[in-house]
Amino acid sequence: MEREASASVECRCPACESGLDPFTVDHFRVWAAELELDSGERWDVDAFFAAYLEDYFARVPECWLIVPEGNGKTTSLAGLALYLLEHRANASIPWAASSRDQAEIGYRQAEGLVLRSRRLRSFLKCQEGYRRIKNLLTGGRMQVFAADDKTGDGVIPTDAFLDELHRHKDLRLYRTWRGKLEKRGGQMGTISTAGEPGSEFEETRTLIRQSTPVVERRPGFVHCRSEAIALHEHALEEGANVEDMAAVKLANPSPRITVEKLERKRQSPTMTVEHWRRFVCNLATRGANAAVQEAEWDRWRVNRDRDEWLEIPAGEARWVGLDVAWKWDTTALVPLWIPEPSFRLFGRATILTPPRDGTSLDPGLVEQALLAEHERGPIHTVVMDMTRAEQLAAWIQDELGAEVVDRSQGNAMAVMDYERFMEALRNGWLRHVGDPGLSRHVLNAVARQLPGGDTRFDRPQASRLGRRGQQDTRVIDALTAAAMVHTTAAAELGADDDDDLGAYVVDLDEAQAA
């Protein structure tokens, strides 16, 4: 049974009269071609916005579009709001911006499209004082207001739009509207450019990107999608030069933005490096000290096109890295299967979050996770720091019959783990199954240089204090577990299987002695 918000009204617009089905990209293109932009041109929908519409019309509940300034995202979203106002039965479309001035821009774009169309003017009434547009035939309405108007609680949206979300003081209004979508089977559309590093918007953007399966990745663009959320992100590729206009152009999908226009914009004496990086390159997401780049990590995810194995095969013996924490950080269990020295596969991580209310994680949950992994395939070795976990280590030996390797997490060993993990990743020896939890912890990590010049994995923020939910963006425990089990397993390979890996054994012994 279709949800309420998917119902359409009887319509005589050019797209409907052409026989096309509503709520499809082809139908939208024909509908939009009738409208005149403020430039005087007919609206030819850009390919990047059409790709965004594919997810929106597929009924994905939350759809994010992150694209640099000047690509026409506000105009495009205003057009989508009018399209839904015409074709959605009983449409209720709240539109929120960070301030009254920003809200005015969204309203003016929608109003202009109506006033320049004789057909739309015949049944859509623009009420400027209320920043509202009403459908006189259906009673549907689009209401534009500022996020700080404190008027968001009373709406039950069919479609809720948030403009320049990075400028909103926080995401409370977003969460309020998200909580009301189920009442009418509604959806949310979000548009923005990059935000302030460390902001709630950027933390949420990072979590979406790290925990949602990647559908497409190419220079300047990444598309992530699940049943719950879709992200279309246009940003300068990690590692690219912000002064390379060809690379910057790849992050600016509008055909109206050319390399020549970008060069003129960059050379303007009023342009600052900070504005260029953030609003033209969309680069506020990950710092230069990120330990592992997203593209690099995604490259070595196993799939049917590249590798035979999608998971560690059932019944295969495996190593397990275990990083134990009881009160604030997570406890992470990461299995590792090495059928040959050049193929080392991390399986799905188990990540246990403590109550974070002053009480400790139940040790029985850790035991259950180990038993579940042992049932998938026998665990022959667990690598862990036994500090404050001696009883758990004894249980592993007694109940699972597995060897326990006590592994310090001091700097000497952490440096070793970083070097061996990054070397194996560069060479393509390390693979992973795309587990969202492990990926999030890997991509959270930064590379911290120690006083002597060595480097180790570290958390992006040292403090556990901060906004509610910020703890999720600082945890790297699954990476810690993965890195230390990889170093230990690779050392054994160096001793037994491959002379080229012999350095692992020497270096590991030296680090343990230190």
Altogether, the residues listed in the chain come to a count of 514
Q: pLDDT at position 169, please?
A: 81
Q: Which of 14-23, 84-93, 283-292, 353-362 has the lowest mean pLDDT?
A: 283-292
Decide if 424 contacts 498 (C-beta within 8 A): no
Q: Does 42 score more than 70 pLDDT?
A: yes
For 460-501, how does the pLDDT look when each residue is reduced to its tens digit (9 = 90+)?
865 454 444 455 567 899 999 999 999 999 998 763 344 444
Q: Which of 29-43, 201-215, 249-263, 398-412 has the lowest mean pLDDT?
A: 201-215
Per-residue b/e over 349-375, b at no fewer than 16 CB within 10 Å?
A: bbbbbbeeeeeebeeeebeebbeebbe
Q: pLDDT at position 283, please?
A: 79
Distance CA 381, CA 393 (A): 11
Q: What is the DSSP pairing of strand 141-146 with strand 350-352? A: unpaired
pLDDT mean across residues, the chain: 87
Q: Determine the average pLDDT of the residues in 233-242.
A: 89
Q: pLDDT at position 53, please?
A: 98
The secondary structure of residue 41, as a DSSP letter, is S
For 266-275, how does the pLDDT look when each residue is reduced to its tens digit (9 = 90+)?
999 999 887 8
Nearest to 361 by CA among 350, 372, 349: 350
Dihedral of the alpha carbons of 409, 412, 418, 423, in degrees to the nearest 10: -140
Distance CA 186, CA 387 (A): 50
Q: pLDDT at position 505, please?
A: 43
Band (pLDDT 50/70/90 cuts) for residue 210 is confident
Distance CA 252, CA 281 (A): 8
Q: pLDDT at position 466, please?
A: 46
Q: pLDDT at position 306, please?
A: 54
pTM for this entry:
0.67
For 308-348, how does the pLDDT look when each residue is reduced to its tens digit (9 = 90+)?
567 899 999 999 999 999 988 899 999 999 999 999 999 99
Q: Does 241 score more than 70 pLDDT?
A: yes
Q: What is the DSSP pairing of strand 455-458 with strand 446-449? A: antiparallel
The secondary structure of residue 190, as a DSSP letter, is E
* 168: exposed, middle or buried (Cβ count in 10 Å: 0-12, 13-18, 19+): buried
Q: Does 89 score more than 90 pLDDT?
A: no
Q: Which of 238-247, 444-453, 502-511 has the lowest mean pLDDT?
A: 502-511
